[in-house]
Structure 1
Amino acid sequence: MDNGILQVTLSNPEGIVTGVRYGNIDNLLEVINDESNRGYWDLVWSALGSTGTTGIFDVIKGTSFNVIVENDEQVEISFTRTWDTSQEGKLVPLNIDKRFVLLRGCSGFYSYAIYEHLAEWPAFNLAETRIAFKLRKDKFHYMAIADNRQRNMPLPDDRLPPRGQALAYPEAVLLVNPVEPDLKGEVDDKYQYSCENKDIRVHGWICRDESVGFWLITPSDEFKSGGPQKQNLTSHVGPTTLAVYLSAHYSGEDLVPKFNAGEHWKKVFGPVFMYCNSLFDGADPLWLWDDAKEQMIIEVQSWPYNFPASEDFPKSDQRGNVSGRLLVQDRYVYDDYISASGAFVGLAPPGDVGSWQRECKDYQFWTRADENGFFSINNIRAGDYNLYAWVPGFIGDYKYNVVVNITSGTHFMVDVTCGTGCDIDMGVLVYEPPRNGPTLWEIGIPDRSAAEFYVPDPNPKYINKLYVNHPDRFRQYGLWERYAELYPNEDLVYTVGTSDYAKDWFFAQVTRKKDNNKYQGTTWQIKFTLDDLDQSSTYKLRVAIASATFSELQVRVNNPNANRPLFSSGLIGRDNSIARHGIHGLYWLFNVDVPGARLVAGDNTIFLTQPRTTSPFQGIMYDYIRFEGPSSSISKREKH
């Protein structure tokens, strides 16, 4: 495909991108790699009944090539791979149609794919799918994924022995003798460059010598799993750049879709845009990043694109819009309704309250409410949805219980009257967050992240210089080991009223490593005073968890040695966010009844134990903890 600006070469009929010619560079992709390892779609799958997040890795190679559109304005080509029963156990039971599009006057190319599983085909799991590009390591050394997350990167050679030394897991490597001496002593780990779906709009690489940029622009999240806060990989040493559509990172098996025999499924992933830009001699190459951001805005504003030829990609006139206003009612905070400022509001397939964060088969559509709680969700595909929301500053999840039906014709139906143009106006919705009584004390901020807690400085031996004095200081390697250094023998004790959670509450309740390479569970204490105690009433402890990894939360009150805890979560979480510098994974909310008879007038202690001890990465990241008095003792805070 060639439009006079760039030339894209693909293998026929496999549909592997083997070359991208742009500017003065004959191929932006890594020419020393095999042609199948330059630009490709891939997936990881397993047979139904398999557990975990691994499986068979498959670079998707087409078996048939077709030109779908070829005119003066556009070329769209298709590489398909169809499945039949002779391939059972060898290939994932999917029909896959990979599309590539080049437009007139466009400094880049698009790609999307349609996956389909027919009802008569066998069951399977799909752990991951993505598009990947491997750029030339002799050209692309500067990576940018955000205004404050960009730097010169190591070479892939630096990660290999003897230049690199593997650390606690293969993705983390200490650079002991890198080609670029300035990088010596740093840690390289691709997970340090993860982002939330909502923030993965543009990322990529700059070739300073030729003043050329290669960027991957993702204009919409609708085809990604897990909602706006689900984290995925972006760019990393290779130089590699990815668009990850489906993965179990920071979530575990909960986000591995399992397809049954008899289940028909079809989904369009993308399109995403591979954008190339260049500069005149003498200009600052970092301008390429600014230009890529401007192009990203153009792509976002152009969504849904009008050019994809597949009927499976609906255009804007085949989509619906939903708007409304979300308010919060919490009588212990404020007499009147509170605007759900900054609320995340979205449509996802029907399910239980909060089910959207584990939904991984279909489409989701999200927005942020304004400061007054007004929201508008646009360009929604036809289908049945629930409306979900969560509000920063308040615990729990909102769900609107009536199914919202978007049709692809001229009518959109819900239990409210369609407005002008058949857009759906949901009216005023009210979220009542969990609440039994007044707040007696609280720790943290209910925002589904542990970032507000104490994040230690990294071990000087394991530093990524990018994250020194950086808002994302939690992205440094090895922070879990700092807990045992701070608390070698005794565990964390937090005293309500005098302790400061930003200084005194470690960001993760991890295991403690002992000298014999064994690990020890930990018990944190929260000390507080009750002046007025009603022993005949029930108090409420609410524990919001930002991430959990093969862990368990046990709660005891005033007796750390009680054989049976007052509450146990059982085994929860496979997020692996501690090892992968994620600061959050999947959200959990536990509501624990504390009988007044367990408390005393005066000094009390709540003991939080994480007893599971097979790994340094097991543990809990707390989001927010609140202790409420009995419902009879209504005592509103000052209005604010």
Structure 2
Amino acid sequence: MAISDTIQRVMPQSEDRVKGHSKPLDFKEAVLLTNPSNPKLKGEVDDKYQYSTENKDNKLNGWISDHDAVGFWIMTPSNEFRTGGPHKQDLTSHVGPTALSMFVSTHYTGTEIDTFYKEGEAWKKVFGPVLIYLNSASSKDDDQRKILWNDAKRQLSEEIESWPYNFTRSEDFPHSQQRGQVNGQLLVQDRYMDKQLMQAKSAFVGLAPPGEVDSWQKEGKGYQFWTQTDKIGRFNIKNVRPGVYNLYAWVHGFIGSYKLDLNITIQPGNKIELGTLIYDPPRNGPTLWEIGIPDRTAAEFFIPEPYPQYVNSITNDGADKFRQYGLWDRFSNIYRDSDLVYTVGASNYSKDWFFAHVPRKTGDDRYRPTTWQIKYNLQDVNNRGTYTLQMAIAAASFAEVEVRFNDPNSNRPHFTTRRIGYDNAVPRHGIHGLYRLYSIEVPGYRFRKGNNTIYLTQTRSDNPFEAVMYDYIRLEGPNSLND
């Protein structure tokens, strides 16, 4: 199986997953291989979710036959028809051998994704085209796998250049001359970071059906077209199907999302110039402290070493470490006596902030809620001012986060997310699900001059997978800038 330069492996067979050859793990998709047909795979975990990837990267996957030096590949040169935007994650391959081209699913989003159809609702959509590609190598070649994989990547590049295909005859699939494009430049304005406008480098900018900010994450019925800006924030969205869209964006290093408050109508052959757009990210005051990087994932936080008995050797690469099985229970091992305590100015989020806020496993194999603490010092407090806690969440599954300031025992939290999320990102080895941002206003009298503590309680604990992943947390002081 091959889905990327780093994720390639000899896979188990279907019969290796049945009773007598494997041990079931905490959810049905994952098994420990105890007596596989290939002895080299004994002791490894097999779990199809370990091979999930984002739509933007999900363009090529397939299999190579060792005996015949033949490759079988699925190529998807455009993800315009896929649900949930560029960061929606989905399956690629699993035992069988099985190669997938996923069009619609609730993986990593849950039922919040809009794929429900009412009686009498008019709807149609073109999925694909998707290319099935076969290649072969000479039996004399020393590195047949590498040759076949590189040839598949070469062919994919040709398909991407050929998109949209012009051989189709369906009136529902417009050819390149029947499509339009949108150009512009995105800049960022955050006066607490820089008094000048900043370039939105490598920002994701896209067209999706009209909706609220970030609605594209949960959009499943229409088409989406995304690109990334260049180093000065310019973008060019090409080959857009005729229709009505909103323009959305998010910028690495800044919280929140951008939406242009007008509908964009694409007609065949037209070219729309939007000029310079300015994103004003959520901000109520200066940064007092921050934890993490605003990148919509929990990848920068502490990801522990896997249990030795639950290793999948293919996910040992540093960038894929979060895909290992059972990492959620490592929290209870590492924090045996008390929950996580993070001290601003002394702690390091890459070592001291666990990647997922999960329940604690108790001795009777049950779970209980956990409360994380953020300790920090304020040299001065404006009792009459309003502070803001910006809490960005990268994933949530049947979870609830309660926030308290300096009083962990108060009956009512200052803020609660209430129960949120269905994405199951933790057991599915994702580093994010749906993005959520909470801007929590806090009156100054709740703070103290000197030492302060914020208590974050994840209240749900029916199973180990009721959890959240934080993207980024920032405490802002009262507004100190003149209008």
User: Could you state the TM-score of these two structures normalised by the residue count of structure 1?
Assistant: 0.74
**Residue of structure 2 in register with 1:164 after alignment:** 22
> Secondary structure of the equivalent of 1:395?
coil
Q: Could you tell me how far 1:371 is from its partner in structure 2? A: 1.1
**Residue of structure 2 in register with 1:462 after alignment:** 310
> Secondary structure of the equivalent of 2:308?
coil
State which of 192, 195, 206 in structure 2 corresponds to 1:335: 195
Q: For the Cα contact (< 8 Å) 1:553–1:568, is it kept in 2? A: yes
For 2:342, the aligned partner's letter is: Y
Matching of residue 181 in structure 1 with residue 39 in structure 2: yes
State which of 108, 127, 130 in structure 2 corresponds to 1:272: 130
For 2:298, the aligned partner's letter is: A
Matching of residue 397 in structure 1 with residue 397 in structure 2: no
Distance 2:463 2:204 in 1: 34
Question: Map of 1:527-546 to 2, 5 A cutoff?
Answer: 527-546=375-394
Q: Could you tell me how far 1:235 is from its partner in structure 2? A: 1.0
Question: Map of 1:540-555 to 2, 5 A cutoff?
Answer: 540-555=388-403
Q: For the Cα contact (< 8 Å) 2:286–2:480, is it kept in 1? A: no
State which of 91, 101, 104 in structure 2 corresponds to 1:246: 104
> Of Structure 1 and Structure 2, which has the larger fraction of its residues in strand?
1
Q: For the Cα contact (< 8 Å) 2:114–2:219, is it kept in 1? A: no
Matching of residue 584 in structure 1 with residue 435 in structure 2: no
**Residue of structure 1 in register with 2:55 after alignment:** 197
**Residue of structure 2 in register with 1:257 after alignment:** 115
Gaps of 5+ in 1: 1-142, 411-421, 635-640
Question: Map of 1:308-347 to 2, 5 A cutoff?
Answer: 308-347=168-207
Distance 1:199 1:605 in 2: 40
Distance 1:633 1:433 in 2: 16
> Secondary structure of the equivalent of 1:290?
helix
Q: Could you tell me how far 1:460 is from its partner in structure 2? A: 0.6
Give 1 or 2 for the bigger CA radius of gyration: 1
Alignment length (residue pairs):
480
Distance 2:366 2:304 in 1: 23
Distance 2:55 2:321 in 1: 20
For 1:566, the aligned partner's letter is: H
1:98-133: per-residue Cα shift (whole Å, max 9, x none)?
Answer: xxxxxxxxxxxxxxxxxxxxxxxxxxxxxxxxxxxx
Q: CA distance change for structure 1 residues 615 and 256 in 2, over 3 Å: closer, same or farther?
A: farther
Q: Could you tell me how far 1:469 is from its partner in structure 2? A: 3.9
Q: For the Cα contact (< 8 Å) 2:80–2:225, is it kept in 1? A: yes
Distance 1:466 1:459 in 2: 15
Question: Map of 1:387-466 to 2, 5 A cutoff?
Answer: 387-408=247-268, 422-466=270-314
For 1:276, the aligned partner's letter is: L
Distance 1:347 1:264 in 2: 22
Q: Could you tell me how far 1:256 is from its partner in structure 2? A: 4.6
Distance 1:609 1:475 in 2: 25
> Secondary structure of the equivalent of 2:9?
strand
Q: For the Cα contact (< 8 Å) 1:204–1:214, is it kept in 2? A: yes
**Residue of structure 2 in register with 1:608 after alignment:** 456
Q: Could you tell me how far 1:214 is from its partner in structure 2? A: 0.2
1:505-536: per-residue Cα shift (whole Å, max 9, x none)?
Answer: 00000011112232100000000000011111
Q: Could you tell me how far 1:216 is from its partner in structure 2? A: 0.3
Matching of residue 496 in structure 1 with residue 354 in structure 2: no
Q: Could you tell me how far 1:317 is from its partner in structure 2? A: 0.8
**Residue of structure 2 in register with 1:351 after alignment:** 211
Q: For the Cα contact (< 8 Å) 1:171–1:190, is it kept in 2? A: yes
State which of 13, 18, 34 in structure 2 corresponds to 1:155: 13
Distance 1:540 1:520 in 2: 29
For 1:396, the aligned partner's letter is: G
1:233-289: per-residue Cα shift (whole Å, max 9, x none)?
Answer: 001111100000110000100115111123200100000001000011211212100
Gaps of 5+ in 2: none
1:481-515: per-residue Cα shift (whole Å, max 9, x none)?
Answer: 10001112310000000000000000000011112
**Residue of structure 2 in register with 1:74 after alignment:** none
Distance 1:370 1:151 in 2: 35
User: Could you state the TM-score of these two structures normalised by the residue count of structure 2?
Assistant: 0.98
**Residue of structure 1 in register with 2:236 after alignment:** 376
**Residue of structure 1 in register with 2:442 after alignment:** 594
For 1:609, the aligned partner's letter is: T
> Secondary structure of the equivalent of 1:198?
helix
User: C-alpha root-mean-square deviation of aligned residues, in Å?
Assistant: 0.9
> Secondary structure of the equivalent of 2:160?
helix
Distance 2:427 2:369 in 1: 17
Q: Could you tell me how far 1:633 is from its partner in structure 2? A: 6.2
**Residue of structure 1 in register with 2:362 after alignment:** 514
Distance 1:403 1:466 in 2: 45
Q: For the Cα contact (< 8 Å) 1:223–1:363, is it kept in 2? A: yes
Q: For the Cα contact (< 8 Å) 2:32–2:46, is it kept in 1? A: yes
Q: Could you tell me how far 1:209 is from its partner in structure 2? A: 1.2
Q: For the Cα contact (< 8 Å) 1:247–1:256, is it kept in 2? A: no
**Residue of structure 1 in register with 2:320 after alignment:** 472
Q: CA distance change for structure 1 residues 468 and 445 in 2, over 3 Å: closer, same or farther?
A: same
Matching of residue 285 in structure 1 with residue 285 in structure 2: no
1:136-163: per-residue Cα shift (whole Å, max 9, x none)?
Answer: xxxxxxx110001111111111111101
Q: For the Cα contact (< 8 Å) 1:144–1:203, is it kept in 2? A: yes
> Secondary structure of the equivalent of 2:473?
strand
Distance 1:577 1:234 in 2: 16
**Residue of structure 1 in register with 2:89 after alignment:** 231
Matching of residue 215 in structure 1 with residue 73 in structure 2: yes
For 2:89, the aligned partner's letter is: Q
**Residue of structure 2 in register with 1:21 after alignment:** none
For 2:229, the aligned partner's letter is: A
For 2:265, the aligned partner's letter is: N
After TM superposition, what 4+ stretches of structure 1 lie above 6 angstroms from structure 2? Answer: none
Q: For the Cα contact (< 8 Å) 2:359–2:466, is it kept in 1? A: yes
Q: Percent identity?
A: 57
Q: Could you tell me how far 1:170 is from its partner in structure 2? A: 1.0
Q: Could you tell me how far 1:180 is from its partner in structure 2? A: 1.1
For 2:185, the aligned partner's letter is: R
For 2:207, the aligned partner's letter is: L
Q: For the Cα contact (< 8 Å) 1:384–1:404, is it kept in 2? A: yes
Q: For the Cα contact (< 8 Å) 2:138–2:144, is it kept in 1? A: no
**Residue of structure 2 in register with 1:60 after alignment:** none
For 2:144, the aligned partner's letter is: P
Matching of residue 296 in structure 1 with residue 144 in structure 2: no
